[in-house]
Amino acid sequence: MSTLRLLDAAGAVTDAELREGGEYSRPSSPLQSRVAYAAAHVVPKVHADNTPGQPADIDWDSTLAFRRNVYSWGLGVADAMDTAQRNMGLDAAATRELIARSAEVAREEGGSVVVGVNTDHVAESHITLDQVIDAYKEQLHFTEEQGAGPVLMASRHLARVAESADDYRRVYREVLSSATVPVVLHWLGTAFDPELAGYFGADDWQTASAVLLDIIGEQPDRVAGVKMSLLNAESEISVREQLPQGVRMFTGDDFNYVGLIGGDTTRSSSEERSTETKRTHSDALLGAFAAITPVASAAIQALDAGDPARYLEILGPTEELSRQVFAAPTFYYKTGVAFLSWLNGHQPAFQMVGGLHSARSLPHLSRIVELANASLALEKPELARERWHGMLRLNGVDA
C-alpha cells in the first residue's frame, strides 16, 4: 500500500493512504445536460527566463496538449482568461498568440473555445472611456477573426475611469454593438482582482447586478451568457433568475459550483423547487474544471444519464479541494491549477510564467495533494506521489 507524506503549517509530517484514481471514462457523445468550459492555464518552457517581469516564454506543445486533453473529456476550453495569468504574467503578445493557437486547436479537435477580450494590451494605466471602447473592440475583432467565442472580461482601465453606472452602460453598449457574434460577459469579483472594486458602478452586488441586467436587456441577442465570479451563490442565483431567455448563466463560483450546476436536479423531492419560469441551474466556466477535468466530465455524464445522486457523489468531494486551490488570496489560485497539472503529468515541471509557482506555501500545496487524493482528482496517483515526494525532498522534508 502506497502512502502520501503530508506537511502541515507547523512543519509536522503525517502519512495518508494513496487512493486509486477514479475510473472515469471519456464520453462517447457530446455532453448534453450542461455546457461546461474549463478555464485553462499556460505552461512555460522549463529552460526559459519566465521570472517576474519577463515576457512569457510558453511551452506550446504542453500548453496545447492540455487543451486537447480537455476536449477529449467533452468539455470546452476557456482560454486567455484569468487562469492563463492575464494581468499576472501573460503579456499582450503571448495573449494574441495563445488565442490564435488555441482557436486552431479547437478547430482541429472539433471543440468549443471561448477566449478573454480585455483592454490589457494598452500600457497606460489611465485612459479615456473612448480609448477603453477602442481597446475592447481591437481585442474583440481579433478574437472574432480567429473564430473563437469572445468573453468580455472586466477591464481595470474601465474600473479606473468610470465615474458612474452610465459609463459602464455606454462602454458595454458600444462594444456589444460592434460584436458580430454573441459574447459572454464576465463579472469578476474583488477576491480575484481587487482593482475591480465598484465594477458596474457599485460596491454591493444588488446595485451592480441591476446595471449588468440593464446592459444585457438592451441587446440580449448579442449576449450568449454571463460568467459570475463573485464567490457568492446568492448573487449568481439572483442574476440567473432575471436573465432574458436564451442568455446562459455560466458559474464562475469555484466555492459553490456543485449546487449551482446541479440546481433543482440535485434537490430532494421534499425541497421546494423553483417555478418553471425560473432558471434552475447554471452552466459552467471554471478554473476549477481545469484542475479536475475527468471528474467534472464524469459528473456531467451522470446528469446526462439522469442520475443526480451519482453527480453529487462524483463532484461533491471536489468542492473542498477547489476551496483550497482558491483560498485567499484567491488571485493566486492559478498556482494550484498548475500544480495539479504537474502532479497529473500534463507538464514536465512545476513552473509558471512570471515565477508564479512560488505564490503558495508548501503546506498549502500539501493540503491540495491531500484533498485531490481524497476526491479522486489525481489522474495518475503513483506519478503524483513520486513528483510530490520529490518536491518535498528538494525542500528538505524527508519523504
pLDDT at 95 exceeding the cut of 90: yes
Q: Which amino acid is at 47?
A: H
What are the pLDDT digits (tens) for 272-321?
444 445 789 999 999 999 999 999 999 999 999 999 999 999 999 999 99
Q: Which long-range contacts (CB under 8 A, 24 or more apart) does 9-18 make?
A: 9/361, 9/363, 13/397, 13/398, 13/399, 16/370, 16/373, 18/373, 18/381, 18/382, 18/385
Are 261 and 281 in contact by the 8 Å Cβ rule? The answer is yes
Angle between helices 362-374 and 333-343 (to 10 degrees): 60
How many Cβ atoms are within 10 Å of 69's Cβ, its own excluded? 22
H/E element, 44: none
pLDDT in tens, 159-193: 999 999 999 999 999 999 999 999 999 999 999 99
Per-residue pLDDT, 344: 99
The tens digit of pLDDT for each residue in 96-109 reads 999 999 999 999 99
First-to-last alpha carbon distance for the chain, in angstroms, is 15
pLDDT of residue 266: 64
pTM of the predicted protein model? 0.96
Exposure of 269 by Cβ count < 10 A (0-12 exposed, 13-18 middle, 19+ buried)? exposed
pLDDT at residue 265 in the model: 73
Q: Determine the Cα–Cα distance for residues 196 and 198; give it in Å rounded to an integer.
A: 6
Identify the pLDDT of residue 169: 99
In this structure, what C-alpha cell is assigned to residue 175? 462594444
The three-class DSSP label of residue 243 is coil
Four-point Cα dihedral 172, 173, 177, 182, nearest 10:
50
Predicted pLDDT of residue 346: 99
**Looking at residue 155, what is its pLDDT?**
99
Give SS3 for 287: coil
Q: How does the average pLDDT of the chain come out, rounded?
A: 97
Q: Say if CB 163 and CB 126 are below 8 A apart.
A: no
- Burial label, 390 (beta-carbon count in 10 A; 0-12, 13-18, 19+): exposed
Q: Tell me: the pLDDT tens digits for 101-133? A: 999 999 999 999 999 999 999 999 999 999 999
Mean pLDDT of 15-44: 97
pLDDT of residue 264: 83
Output the DSSP codes for 355-371. Answer: GGGGSS-HHHHHHHHHH
DSSP characters for 153-210?
Answer: PPPHHHHHH--SHHHHHHHHHHHHHH-SS-EEEEEE-TTT-GGGTTGGG-SSHHHHHH
Do 194 and 152 meet the contact criterion of CB atoms below 8 Å apart?
A: no
Question: Thinking of the domain 26-311, which architecture would CATH place it in?
Answer: Alpha-Beta Barrel (3.20)
What single DSSP character describes residue 140? H
Tens digits of residue pLDDT in 321-355 = 999 999 999 999 999 999 999 999 999 999 999 99
Rounded Cα–Cα distance for residues 337 and 314 (Å): 19
Grid coordinates representing 308 are 443526480
For position 267, what pLDDT does the model report? 56
Helices 60-72 and 92-109, interaxial angle, to 10°? 40
Q: What angle do CA 164, 213, 207 make, to 5 degrees?
A: 50
pLDDT tens digit sequence for 257-268: 999 999 987 654
Would you state the pLDDT for residue 113? 99
Tens digit of each residue's pLDDT (9 = 90 or more) over 226-245: 999 999 999 999 999 999 99
Please list the alpha-helical segments (H only) found in the chain: 60-72, 92-109, 129-146, 156-161, 165-178, 205-218, 233-242, 257-262, 288-291, 293-304, 308-315, 318-325, 333-343, 362-374, 381-394
Provide the pLDDT for residue 284: 99
